[in-house]
Amino acid sequence: MHKILLIIKREYFSRVKKKSFLLVTFLVPVLFIGMFSLIVYLAASQGGLGDKKKVEVVDESGWFAGKLKGGKTIEYSVAGDYATAKKEFLKSGYDYLLYIPATVTNIQLFGEKTPSAMHSGKIEEELSRIAVARRLGDAHIDSAMLAGAQKQVSVEPKQITENGEKDAHIYAAYGVGLACAFLIYMSLFLYGAQVMRGVIEEKVSRIIEVIISSVKPFQLMLGKIIGVGMVGLTQFVLWIALTMLLSTVAGTALTGNKGKAMQQIQQSQGMSEQIGGNGAHQTEITAATDNPVASLMASLDSLPVTQIVLCFLFYFFFGYMLYSALFAAVGSAVDNETETQQFILPVTLPLIFTIILSQTVIVNNPDSALSIWLSMIPFTAPIAMMIRIPFHVPPIQIAASMLLMVLGFLVTTWVAARIYRVGILMYGKKASYKELAKWFMYKE
């Protein structure tokens, strides 16, 4: 045990003390929060849309002239003659020329540069609105009554608990589940590959021959796996802590004075209640929509955040331990990284299979039989269970999955160790699946 601890200590501190580790650990949360804050800011302020585009309109139909309202991104001006407007367009200072024939067909949008999809879509939407209203009027159909009849019915998801009902926030659970699954998927590849490269480097440099004279191959493999795993765990804990801290700071900066905002909402709700019962609810929805950060925070409050974080750390660590044992076995069987390709795909296939299913089957039906079984199998549980956790998985299923995860790690490590003990001392011989089976069957 003492030798294993020495190996763990060496693997851990040799990586943690590197400048690259410190740089990535502290820089990633800053970049992530900075990027997210910029996206929220630009979405809230409608930034990045460029200057307002000036559109010169030639309307030979008479349907649209004077009825185009424009907005924050488009400004309309009516022109008379199409031939003259087209001839002088490049000198007119307008960004686009919109030509509407008398037949209201084959409408064309000209520009010195290719018109953007956003501006073209907005113009098309505005023209369609006016054309529909005109046709309904010609047919003596009340457009307001028709619009009311076509109004979509909205469903507000709720969850019934022992403490009462609360908002379900489906999309928050959807996003958090996929994000956690993707992080684990990437980390298993990243840190597992570190273990494999470390084994290959020690084998090629023949350092392993000196080390093996002092410790058993199993002790060396286990110490290396746990050491690198602790590095990854440390990095994730720091990322979570720094991300939560920076999120709080960024959220406060973007939302401004929260107390005043809540007071304004309450005052608005009070006024709405005097007008009608539905007004207060509409005000609350509008306030949440206008403040994306507050809406995001409210969505996260509905999720079992503590359970998600603890389960994430558990499934990351034991998922890493399981797959790193296999990566270590692969590293011991080859002399360079090029030869690892034939073994990597079968090892990582369960991860690839699950991450593909996670975006369709699991996230859309987290309580299906397939989702439950995938969250129980040790090779697929780290991804499948992390997608299901935000949807409130029964505790008995989480406990069973964790137990199987630990057992799967122990069995996999034992199998990998039997290959590792032989392969680590093999040089110049290209390994095959048949050779690996022989190594596994060798007696001590």
CA pair distance 309, 94, nearest whole angstrom: 54
Burial-class residue 381 by CB neighbours within 10 Å (0-12, 13-18, 19+). buried
- Structural domain boundaries in the chain: 53-142, 169-257+303-441
Type of residue at 319: G
Long-range contacts of 432-435 (CB under 8 A, 24+ apart): 435/333
**What is the structure's pLDDT at 272?**
44
Q: What pLDDT is stored for residue 120 in this prediction?
A: 82
Greatest alpha-carbon span in the chain: 95
**The pLDDT of residue 396:** 94
pLDDT tens profile 55-65: 888 888 888 77
Closest CA to 391 of 371, 377, 373, 405: 371
What number does CATH give the domain 53-142?
3.40.190.10
User: What pLDDT is stored for residue 280 in this prediction?
Assistant: 43
| pLDDT at site 404 | 95
Number of DSSP helices (H) and strands (E) in the chain, helices first = 19, 6
pLDDT at 268: 46
- Which residues fall within 8 angstroms of residue 314, CB to CB, at 6 or more apart? 402, 405
Tens digits of per-residue pLDDT, 303-347? 777 888 899 889 988 998 899 888 888 888 887 777 777 788 888
424 contacts: CB under 8 Å, gap ≥ 6: 199, 203, 208, 212, 217, 220, 332
pLDDT of residue 175: 80
Number of CB atoms found within 10 A of residue 438's CB: 11
First to last CA, the chain: 20
**pLDDT given at position 156:** 64
Which tokens sit at 240? 């979570």
**pLDDT < 50: residue spans in the chain:** 47-48, 257-262, 264-266, 268-269, 271-293
pLDDT the model gives residue 261: 44
